[in-house]
Structure 1
């Protein structure tokens, strides 16, 4: 089965066409809303898989899209306002461009359906939790699922206690025990956890309430949290590469932003390791995780007390899927290229089997 995967970002699209053994036959990328024009340049697929950030409690497996599924997906849109509307738009465009091809929705939240209740439950009134489904869902599950499986291939078996760091414009960590998600840093929405490109990560929940009491409108607060916070709020840019350049020139806001970023990253990584009871492997993936040697070096040093040691030369030369573990380290450290397209294609075939 030849599968076309569609990975919508908040303002961009990436399409990949994969043959049955996972070989990449063709790929296209472009702005949001360009599914029809991008599909026109690709060979015809047998099935389509679309990444959806939020599946709520309704979707814990890839799901063939019908009208009932479409309605439920629309109901989840306000939980991931940067991403879900883009996926819904891609779904409509793919349906129009390929009307007789089955479409499967694949969910970032699904990998975290295994979270134990202690990790998934917010200490909120029961009436709120039951009425609104308030719980920790977790995200980046397609990336985590692929990275866990790929780490097992590289190491000759999935490590019992693995911390996966998906670091990009959006960022989260996942504690993986024997291949299963047991804790993660994102929660009800993709705002919780690490400092990100435009999102603040975890903040005091009293801050939005205080701002509302002092005259700010909820839509303005939402926009600020989704699009104007994180690294952008600290430096004016969400681009880690630009911040690195400024830091090398001893720009004070850039240096301070990196300290804030790493303070939260170190604390969250240690918390994930505590959920696992130790660490056998540390995995970096995502745009920053794959390409920023300094982030890997600094977190490796921060986690030295857990047996992590990064080899400086291997780290500097890392390209693609690479082992950057220093000799004698108790925990292995890997860099794994993010391949959500392969995970989506696997989900499509499973759903249509």
Structure 2
């Protein structure tokens, strides 16, 4: 039973990604994706193959095209399908076998993630229709953070907004933070998963997290993924009254302000150039002032968040960098750590710069708490959680697609 196969599906608003994983393996058996769905430019591609046009394909049509490719590479039956679902609200505190109740719950949480949950549901329903005899599991980005105590997840707002409308801090990137914390414990010899970690998931979306013995104690994202750190195009934390200020002074309506904060801000807005850290580092080296400012703000705000999250832990065993930027930008790591000397965190410059792309390693200086770079693997985490749940609940209630 140790070589069971899991199909991991990540459905987006205009794309769907598939990864076939074998139990216990660190590498996927097969990966594929479809992009620009519901447009004439829709297409699909897979590792080792060319891109293929699939005009006007929806999620179900894309899966129809991709599943035969999965079967060709499977070398055995698929035991379970694991779906990434962004928002589980308070209802879902862990992975769940998908039935009518779970489908209804994902739909009920759609107002909290209007771009993500409906897309996740499309992928789930299409997979259930095409693979009706295979158990399907939902793994929620928010579930890992349901261990946060009320003093960490509540906003200072009237109680009715929480009790009736669910307005609270939920947090995201849970599968990533959970995965790298587990790996950090293993890399530092803590076989029981214990440890007090600060985790920085840095990509186009960014979040930080305080993790104690495998449980989230606090995190930077909140009701939505906009709260917290500076990101690729998202502002992160701003004065809550900025909305009113822009409405009064510029006459902007709410959709325009949301567009600004989610699509036009962050590294892109600060630099006036790009949301890609690689481009910004090159521009900084060439003397681009906006790129330099964007990187400095990004790193300072990250360090400030990590320092603040440290109060959620009894001590600090180490700091983890992950995500595309965290794993590959030695400059970001070095600048962030330059602000954290007060916490005893000190980087070894040579170890930091020598770490190869995609490589896990330790980069702390002698006498510092551990500083680890760990490539994240959310699909592996989803696969493992799906199999664990399948072992615990080997049957499921059939649900109509």
Q: TM-score, normalised by structure 1?
A: 0.93
- Which residue does the alignment assign to 1:276? 313
Alignment partner of 1:342 is 2:380: yes
Alignment partner of 1:2 is 2:5: yes
Alignment partner of 1:19 is 2:22: yes
Unaligned runs of 5+ in 2: 38-58, 72-76, 392-401
Structure 1: distance between partners of 2:323 and 2:241 = 31
Unaligned runs of 5+ in 1: none
* Aligned mate of 1:89, from 115, 118, 122: 122
Alignment partner of 1:28 is 2:28: no
Change (3 A) 1:213 1:103: farther
1:321 deviation in Å? 4.6
1:327 deviation in Å? 4.3
1:310 deviation in Å? 1.9
Structure 1: distance between partners of 2:291 and 2:115 = 25
* Aligned mate of 2:208, from 170, 173, 187: 173
Structure number with bigger Rg:
2
Contact 2:182 2:214 in 1 (8 A): yes
Structure 2: distance between partners of 1:314 and 1:341 = 28
Structure 1: distance between partners of 2:13 and 2:294 = 24
Relative to structure 2, which stretch is displaced further, 245-254 or 79-88?
A: 79-88
Structure 1: distance between partners of 2:300 and 2:360 = 26
Matches within 5 A, 1:1-353: 1-9=4-12, 11-23=14-26, 24-31=28-35, 33=59, 34-43=62-71, 45-157=78-190, 158=193, 160-213=195-248, 215-234=251-270, 235-319=272-356, 320-353=358-391
Structure 1: distance between partners of 2:20 and 2:10 = 12
Structure 2: distance between partners of 1:8 and 1:197 = 21
Contact 1:279 1:307 in 2 (8 A): no
Contact 1:159 1:280 in 2 (8 A): no
Q: Secondary structure at the match of 2:385?
A: helix
Q: Secondary structure at the match of 1:330?
A: coil
1:259 deviation in Å? 1.8
Contact 1:310 1:324 in 2 (8 A): no
Q: Give the aligned length.
A: 353
Change (3 A) 1:230 1:161: same
Change (3 A) 1:348 1:100: same
